[in-house]
Amino acid sequence: MLHAYTGTAVRSAERPLLDAGKGDALMRRAAWGLASVVLRELRARGPVAGSTVAALVGKGNNGGDALWALSFLRRRGADAVAVPTGKTMHEVGLAALRRAGGRVAEQVPENATLLIDGVLGTGARGGWEPPLVPEGVAVVVACDLPSGVDADTGHVAGEVIPADVTVTFGALKTGLMVGAGAHAAGRVEVVDIGLGPHLGEPDLSSLERDDALAVFAPPAWDDHKYRRGVLGVCAGSEQYPGASVLVCSSAIASGLGMVQYAGPRRAADLVLAAHPEVVAGPGVDGKAQAWVAGPGLGSDDDARRRLAEVVDACVDGGLPLVLDASALDLVSLEDLGRLRSAGCQVVLTPHQGELLRLAGRLVPEMKTTFTAVAGLDPVAAARGMARELAVVVLLKGATTVCAAPDGRTLVQNEGGAALATAGTGDCLAGLVGSALARTEHGRPSPTVEKAAAAAWLHGTAGAVAAEAGPFGASTLPSAVRHVLSGR
């Protein structure tokens, strides 16, 4: 599991060390970490001696890191060129560069093969206008974070030079894990500068492969179908029958004991044609150990009645429930209260638009706050909604944010924009349901971690599917099987 801290938290952690007069030592350590990554990138492309490395240098400590790194690179034979973006540069860093024989230029030299972005770090306020990067630059390495990325949120206010690698200091930053910041950062490498004892609790985390696969573990040797998990699916309608197939297919592909489908004839027939192993019927009676409700349900009286039946079944049995799509527009505060009182694990899976509609209906006094933060800070939006409704919220988007009512948050970035196609959300709902329905054999995972594991599996399957070209949602279940077969 990866853990990230806000830029603000990292700056606070630095404070005692700076007060103790260790600022220069910290900077040199950070800069040496940066230079080491640059050396590796250069060596992968040819000899270091004779190569040209340029750095865009801002006036703060981020520029200071870049200047020190250039001085180390110069001593290994590279032509090291500082390009200031303001009127001043970090004095000690500049002196180090000059002592090493580096130089200062007004523009990035045309023959530079590698560019260090050392303009803005955790002290950035708002955006900037990057210069044109010469075409010969083969690699961009960001110092601490790509300039212009908000280290606390991942929001990019203006422009950014997309990095191939970001070398970040002290700890992984939240801004490198979320949205545009994560996209601009490229591969992220963390350089330890000794902040560990001062860091405290992480702001958020991200599941890695093994964490997610532990949730979707293969069956134990003596499992039977009821012990592996039975998922109830209340999805699809006469108008939108296909959603039922997508939810069931992805759940089956993730390896469950049984899928039970509750819905109208037409949708049930489609489900059975695709998966004769599904137990289908009009109502919710059965052995389901968790339910997914919502995809393709519609908004008519029948949809309301069907959702009410599922909520009742979950309340009666204390069963976990995933509410997705149409169910997000139908569920009431009273439903959520009953589910909470019955001890049900509840996961809501909105995208941004659904989250704002949910806020408008269920927490109208917070609508303005949610509208303000939804686009800029999806972590704050998901956390706010999880806290207000006391349920786990999985907010879909370029970064999937899973937040628990106590603020614990996981973010996943595995998928790409290829997943932005109709029906993939239905597949995700099936995977979240599967994660909740499964019997746990080892350490029990918190609900928010199960939701994040489903997001990991969904995103990774999306990446696998995209390798073969553009795809539709019905391709995802086979990619889910492929991902799980590789464990």
Identify the residue among 79, 117, 144, 388 touching ligand NAX (CB under 6 A). 144
Q: Does residue 425 have a known ligand-binding role?
A: yes
Closer residue to ligand NAX (CB): 52 or 147: 147
Give the shortest CB-437-to-ligand NAX separation in angstroms.
Answer: 44
Neighbouring residues of 429: CB distance < 8 A, sequence distance ≥ 6: 235, 247, 292, 294, 295, 322, 324, 325, 349
CB 77 within 8 A of CB 103: no
Helix (H) or strand (E) holding 347: strand 346-348
* Stretch binding ligand NAX (CB under 6 A), from 94-102, 114-122, 159-167, 230-238: 114-122
Neighbouring residues of 43: CB distance < 8 A, sequence distance ≥ 6: none
Give the shortest CB-54-to-ligand NAX separation in angstroms.
Answer: 17
Q: Does residue 296 have a known ligand-binding role?
A: yes
Closer residue to ligand NAX (CB): 124 or 348: 124
Neighbouring residues of 310: CB distance < 8 A, sequence distance ≥ 6: 232, 234, 262, 284, 291, 293, 321
* Stretch binding ligand NAX (CB under 6 A), from 24-32, 104-112, 387-395, 420-428: 24-32
Edge-to-edge strands, sheet with 290-293: 172-173, 2-5, 204-206, 409-412, 400-403, 392-395, 346-348, 321-323, 290-293, 230-234, 258-262, 279-281
* Stretch binding ligand NAX (CB under 6 A), from 123-131, 263-271, 290-298, 302-310: 123-131
CB 308 within 8 A of CB 282: no
Beta strands in 71-208 (DSSP E): 79-84, 103-104, 114-118, 139-143, 165-169, 172-173, 187-191, 204-206
* 130 binding ligand NAX? (CB under 6 A): no
Angle (CA) 76 82 88, round 5°: 140
Query: Scanning residues 421 to 460, which ones bind ligand NAX (CB under 6 A)?
Result: none
Neighbouring residues of 302: CB distance < 8 A, sequence distance ≥ 6: 237, 264
Q: Does residue 426 have a known ligand-binding role?
A: yes
Q: For tokens 């809501």, what's the residue?
A: 348
Closer residue to ligand NAX (CB): 144 or 211: 144
* 89 binding ligand NAX? (CB under 6 A): no
CB 93 within 8 A of CB 68: yes
* 59 binding ligand NAX? (CB under 6 A): yes
* 65 binding ligand NAX? (CB under 6 A): yes
Give the shortest CB-129-to-ligand NAX separation in angstroms.
Answer: 9
* 126 binding ligand NAX? (CB under 6 A): yes
* 21 binding ligand NAX? (CB under 6 A): no
Identify the residue among 72, 169, 261, 370 touching ligand NAX (CB under 6 A). 169
Extract the annotated binding site for AMP.
396-400, 425
Extract the annotated binding site.
243, 296, 351, 396-400, 425-426
Binding residues (CB under 6 A) for ligand NAX: these are 14, 18, 23, 26-27, 30, 58-63, 65, 120-128, 143-144, 169, 193
